[in-house]
Structure 1
């Protein structure tokens, strides 16, 4: 696919309109939660994995041996659960994931979002184009701001599936940050405050693009209100759910307090390296992430090189907060204890072997 001519970007899509001439809201809502109730051990998925690389203990995993175009239904459900747990999962050499298979994979997890502004593939409007050569230059072509995809929609993205067809000779990485861990590391008084708040997410950034460059929207540009702390319906864990690009304000506090809260959260997302994982793209690499519990940003360090990718985005459920939700930190305790126990067992065996060898030479 990477050697084929790039398909035309939609410029003349027939726009659905209401009787009064207004644009139809093209956002969709999931009718089920993909991955919820999947096998916790993910035996079907891992039966095809020949190598697993966890980039950090809590976020980011690369799987080898998986062909995304050949997943069974059970494997795709287990993969959805793994992505919800790990935040983002990476794959290499997915050259057979063409537009048809790309769309097919996304639809296994829910209806596909049709972006109201980002350029689309004309024949497949579910596929959006992220191309550094598109004009006018814009944040959605080369993004350097942390965000969660289309959080301004009433039913924002659950999963996003991004494949890069053309990559720069150097630079152009993408970074994800862990919303679960951000929440877990807040002090209890701050958690108590945030759990009672909601925030307005706005598509203002796209409205500015339209005003400044005369662009044409493909659908409604929404504003929506979501909880500041969100429960992930797959894992049941709490995560912070605001971002610098789309979150306009916290609703229950003064404007000054809203700015302080959002600036504080945004700063943690950007500077806390322990929350982050960085992916270096190769041709036909694929990243799939959970927008409900991660933030991401492209790194605009690759000009004058060219970068071109395509993405499908799965519409999710309406964000909600359940005060009885669990946390990644609590779920991680058993894993952490097992890791420590294994390390201690290895060290004990080493010491015993040394003692035995020393006794033989005495």
Structure 2
């Protein structure tokens, strides 16, 4: 029998479920692609919107994730694809059943081949700091896109914590749209059309060191370095420091130089990033096709435990005719500037009248 913790967390596969992850598949539709561009149904429930930066990361209040209509769910998927990551507070009714139900509205749910999961619902992985000894590499603490080693990596991830450290334990996200837009045109020309091999090597090492049996094959897959998000149509960099082994067709030194450069931009360009402070019953949902994320391992001696549902997306592709976030944001930026100028003009007129 596989080791099971007292709260129904299963650590290692048995013969019964040794191939359960091999049944992972790709999405047959693109969630969010057919949404109302103005997202009227979704925002009818929003009581407060907090944009963390002009382009990336938003916190929505008033939305109950368990009560979304089909139209609201579709519009939320589109909004997440645009904003990269969206946060919600006070989602106490998002229990195990509802967590799975929410993810399944957007596509087939991924079963991780190694990470501990809920015994009754293997689609829910358990991120518990007590399960990761201090001397073992923890992929959560490095910049990555979830399960990018799969043939059809994740579109969306939905994470909720039920145990929050008294201090520390934030998560940081980085915008892969802005990463692409920040590159010079010669570098863009170099990267577009290249592919990279994403590997599950780190999980193979963990499996070998612990002796834990996997729930399915640990895959390696090749994906475009510049990826088109099918919902927004924008280009994003799709490499990461945990799973991207090498850029195909380049020498090892060339591949390392490019990957190190892109990983350096992800980790150091603060203007691409947002940071979220967790509270109990908070939920983060992000688009893995156009963002990277990393936990911040600064909460010892406290513990941290969360539950994640991962939605399998489409097979990654690159469309040379894709647009960019920068192009799409230009109209929004102009509207913001126009509003600010109108407000300043109004203040000036009021001052003159008082004088």
Shorter-normalised TM-score: what interval? over 0.9
- The total of aligned residue pairs comes to 350
Distance (Å, rounded) in 1 between the aligned partners of 2:304 and 2:337? 42
**What does residue 289 of structure 1 align with?**
286
**What does residue 33 of structure 1 align with?**
30
Contact 1:174 1:279 in 2 (8 A): yes
Contact 1:210 1:217 in 2 (8 A): yes
**What does residue 122 of structure 1 align with?**
119
Q: Which runs of 4+ in 1 moved over 3 A?
A: 11-17, 21-24, 135-140
Q: 1:161 to 1:249 in 2, by over 3 A?
A: same
**What does residue 328 of structure 2 align with?**
331
Are 1:248 and 2:245 counterparts? yes
Are 1:190 and 2:190 counterparts? no
Distance (Å, rounded) in 1 between the aligned partners of 2:278 and 2:309? 17
SS in 2 for 1:177: strand
Q: Which of these two proteins has the greater Rg computed from alpha carbons? A: 1
* C-alpha distance after superposition, 1:68-102 (max 9, x if no partner): 11111110000000000000000011111001000
TM-superposed CA distance for 1:14, in Å, is: 4.4
What is the root-mean-square deviation in Å for CA atoms of aligned residues? 1.7
Contact 1:163 1:284 in 2 (8 A): yes
Are 1:7 and 2:4 counterparts? no
Are 1:134 and 2:134 counterparts? no
Distance (Å, rounded) in 2 between the aligned partners of 1:302 and 1:184? 34
Give the alignment partner of residue 298 of structure 2, picking from 283, 297, 301: 301
Q: 1:208 to 1:357 in 2, by over 3 A?
A: same
**What does residue 229 of structure 1 align with?**
226
**What does residue 142 of structure 2 align with?**
145
**What does residue 263 of structure 1 align with?**
260
Contact 1:149 1:291 in 2 (8 A): yes
Q: 1:242 to 1:101 in 2, by over 3 A?
A: same
Give the alignment partner of residue 68 of structure 1, picking from 47, 65, 78: 65
SS in 1 for 2:131: coil
Distance (Å, rounded) in 2 between the aligned partners of 1:192 and 1:15? 48
Distance (Å, rounded) in 2 between the aligned partners of 1:139 and 1:49? 40
Distance (Å, rounded) in 1 between the aligned partners of 2:212 and 2:174? 31
Are 1:320 and 2:320 counterparts? no
**What does residue 45 of structure 2 align with?**
48
* C-alpha distance after superposition, 1:200-232 (max 9, x if no partner): 000001011011222221110000000000000
Distance (Å, rounded) in 2 between the aligned partners of 1:245 and 1:179? 15
Contact 2:193 2:318 in 1 (8 A): no
Q: 1:256 to 1:338 in 2, by over 3 A?
A: same
Distance (Å, rounded) in 2 between the aligned partners of 1:268 and 1:144? 17
**What does residue 103 of structure 2 align with?**
106
**What does residue 207 of structure 2 align with?**
210
Distance (Å, rounded) in 2 between the aligned partners of 1:283 and 1:185? 36
**What does residue 93 of structure 1 align with?**
90
* C-alpha distance after superposition, 1:148-181 (max 9, x if no partner): 0000000000000000000000000000000000
Q: 1:165 to 1:269 in 2, by over 3 A?
A: same
Contact 1:23 1:220 in 2 (8 A): no
Contact 2:60 2:87 in 1 (8 A): yes
Distance (Å, rounded) in 1 between the aligned partners of 2:164 and 2:339? 40
> 5+ residue gaps in structure 2?
none
**What does residue 349 of structure 2 align with?**
352
Q: 1:76 to 1:261 in 2, by over 3 A?
A: same
Distance (Å, rounded) in 1 between the aligned partners of 2:333 and 2:220? 40
Distance (Å, rounded) in 1 between the aligned partners of 2:13 and 2:241? 30
